[in-house]
Chain A
Amino acid sequence: QQPVQSPQAVILREGEDAVINCSSSKALYSVHWYRQKHGEAPVFLMILLKGGEQKGHEKISASFNEKKQQSSLYLTASQLSYSGTYFCGTEMENGSEKLVFGKGMKLTVNP
């Protein structure tokens, strides 16, 4: 039931782009994205609802493919501040009020 995130880790240079994928074997109602910096608490980035809506946050955007039960997070022109671990949290179609998080993707952005 835990969603699968890929890749597990990425190293970028500042200004490069990255895509993080999150896939589920179950039908989803929503996908949530969080970022956690080392030693800190996770922080909400955005939510994607069933229906394929794409949302954006600064230079970070995401999409939700309902047919594939997959969400992707797009990091454009990465900045040093984007470094951290990105988690997707999935909410099942029945609106269970709780999230199941993936194992995370560690992003390192170097100068």
Chain B
Amino acid sequence: DAGITQSPRHKVTETGTPVTLRCHQTENHRYMYWYRQDPGHGLRLIHYSYGVKDTDKGEVSDGYSVSRSKTEDFLLTLESATSSQTSVYFCASGRRGLNNEQFFGPGTRLTVL
């Protein structure tokens, strides 16, 4: 299994505060992704990265920013958290190739009060 970790695993915060979630992978994968998962919506892409300092928006990027200064780290920042951003956040990494498989991290459960 790909080594991909997320921190923190759980976080409770208040509306209006900034929050940063970290994703770390040890597989030297070029591509990294941030998803949110909500009941009835499945997995929705927030942002993704196709290389160091190369990022692009996904379907639900409003209110989120990302940064990737090293291959192994991909940070997701909620600039001013809102209750609608309460969700489970998954990070994934992968490489382009025959399988294009994405390896998912264990997830971060974020609650915004």
Contacts and interface: CB of A to CB of B under 8 A. Distances in A.
A64 interface: no
Q: B interface, by DSSP: helix, strand, loop or mixed?
A: strand
Interface string A38-66: 00111110010000000000000000000
Interface string A12-43: 00000000000000000010101000001111
Interface in B13-69: 31, 33, 35, 40-45, 48, 50, 56, 58-59
B74 interface: no
Nearest to A85: B42
A34 B100 CA distance: 12
Interface of A: 1-2, 30, 32, 34, 40-44, 47, 87, 89, 91, 97-104
A34 B103 CA distance: 10
A100 B59 contact: yes
B103 to A, nearest CB: 7
29 contacts: A2-B42, A30-B100, A32-B100, A32-B101, A32-B102, A40-B106, A41-B105, A41-B107, A42-B43, A42-B90, A42-B104, A44-B99, A44-B102, A44-B103, A47-B100, A47-B101, A87-B42, A89-B43, A91-B100, A97-B31, A97-B48, A97-B96, A98-B48, A98-B56, A101-B35, A101-B43, A101-B44, A103-B42, A104-B42
A43 B44 CA distance: 16
Interface of B: 31, 33, 35, 40-45, 48, 50, 56, 58-59, 90, 96, 99-107
A101 B102 CA distance: 12
Contacts of B42: 2, 87, 101-104
Candidate in A2, A30, A44, A87 with the most chain B CB atoms within 10 angstroms = A44
A97 B50 contact: yes
A2 B45 CA distance: 11
A104 B105 CA distance: 19
